[in-house]
Amino acid sequence: MPRLYTIVAELTYRCPLRCVYCSNPTDFAVSHGDELTTEQWSDVFRDGAALGALQLHLSGGEPLLRPDLPALIRVSRAAGLYVNLITSGATLNEHKLREFRECGLDHIQLSLQDSERESAELIAGVRCFDSKLAAAALIRNAGIPLTLNVVLHRYNIVRIPELCDLAIQLGADRLELANTQYYAWAMQNRAALLPTREQYAEAERIVTSLRENCRGKIEIAFVRADYFADRPKACMGGWANTYLCIAPAGDVMPCHAASVIPGLSFDNVRHTRLADVWRDSAALNAFRGDDWMIEPCRSCPEKKIDFGGCRCQAFMLTGEARAADPVCSLSSEHQSVIDAVDNRASASLVYRDSKNSRRLAAPR
């Protein structure tokens, strides 16, 4: 049995922002059930720590919308977890930050859409730029370690130096530059968000030199864009191998995106303790190890390195969840990824909100 290391708790799907690359399922506004209670989440965190988890990401939606957030931080920290709050910063204030720190919050990851207001607010779909800068300052003043997280795409990938300057100016410990991964809302907006090959190559070069120049000032993490690679990412370090994502209503998933794969039935922490889910869940066992693999992965010498890539991406791009991730040049469908990059279009943006969610979920 693999050991669980990391839990992402999506405390809610509610969010005041409408980011066009949100990783929440596009049907978040329909039929997902009630959010777990404080007690249910507390059991999940204690059970997760007992299973071996070391890292907890409190995410959403916007986790600040849960009034019990301080209690959840307290219980998870007491269980020994390293507690990271992933937030847009909306509604953050000095009082809340003091409370979070007293409850043992280890770290905050604040999202930033761009270094320029107009572009940032175009991507977030709401006015939020000034409140984010204010939130970053409050976090620094509260003495809580801060990572600024910027999702990269066509609109902001040309401003990496400016983003880095801003992160240093805001006193962030880390800057995470994460290229858009094309799932959920980002998949809806793929044609509009993909950068050019030249833009992406230039971004990699700039990050390499910035890392050198900023040594000692800020740590820069760069999450590569798999669409520009010829080997897939080792998605989640392997399906249900070290990582769990728990949805607001308690479904236990191997990642944010797994609900796109039809036929998977997720166990729920309302009915089953987390240790039993980790061991026995049919969905978690569906792609564990490599017995499920088909060619070209099955006989591939690299299968222990990348696990065949991402099951969700394989399903979305080929219709077969066991297929090689088409990012891989050995996939018979690799051309579809090349075409997606080469045939980018200036499409209009689909915002992540309840109205669009209900429209996307409606039967056609």
Positions touching other proteins (CB under 8 A) are: 3, 5, 50-52, 54-55, 80, 82, 84, 106-107, 109, 143, 145, 147, 173-174, 216, 219, 221
Pick 138 or 264: Cβ nearer other proteins: 138
CB 176 within 8 A of CB 149: yes
- 3-state secondary structure at position 40: helix
In the complex with other proteins, the residue whose CB is nearer, 5 or 292, is 5
CB of 146 vs other proteins, minimal distance in Å: 9
- Please say which residue, 64 or 148, places its beta carbon nearer to other proteins: 148
Q: Give min distance, CB of 72 to other proteins, in A.
A: 18
Number of helices (H) and strands (E), helices first, in the chain?
15, 9
User: For residues 54 and 229, which CB has a smaller minimum distance to other proteins in the complex?
Assistant: 54
Bridge partner list, 253: 245
Q: How far is the CB of 132 from other proteins (least distance, A)?
A: 19
Alpha carbon distance, N-terminus to C-terminus of the chain: 42
Q: Which is nearer to other proteins, 221 or 347 (CB)?
A: 221
Smallest gap from Cβ 122 to other proteins, in A, equals 28
In the complex with other proteins, which residue's Cβ is closer, 89 or 326? 89
For residues 67 and 63, what is the distance between their CA atoms, to the nearest angstrom?
Answer: 9
> Taking the complex as a whole, how short is the minimal distance between the CB of residue 243 and other proteins, in angstroms?
12
- Tokens at 90, concatenated: 């909306």
Task: Return all residues near 182 (Cβ < 8 A) that are at least 6 apart.
Answer: 190, 193, 227, 313
Q: In terms of CB distance, is 221 or 294 closer to other proteins?
A: 221
Nearest to 7 by CA among 275, 232, 295: 275
The DSSP line for 100-167 is HHHHT--EEEEE---SSHHHHHHHHSSS-HHHHHHHHHHHHHTT--EEEEEEE-TTTGGGHHHHHHHH
Instruction: Retrieve residue 242's tokens.
Output: 């070290």
Q: CB of 142: closest distance to other proteins in angstroms?
A: 11
Kindly state the smallest distance separating residue 312's Cβ from other proteins, in Å: 21
Asked if 170 contacts 148 with a C-beta cutoff of 8 angstroms, the reply is yes
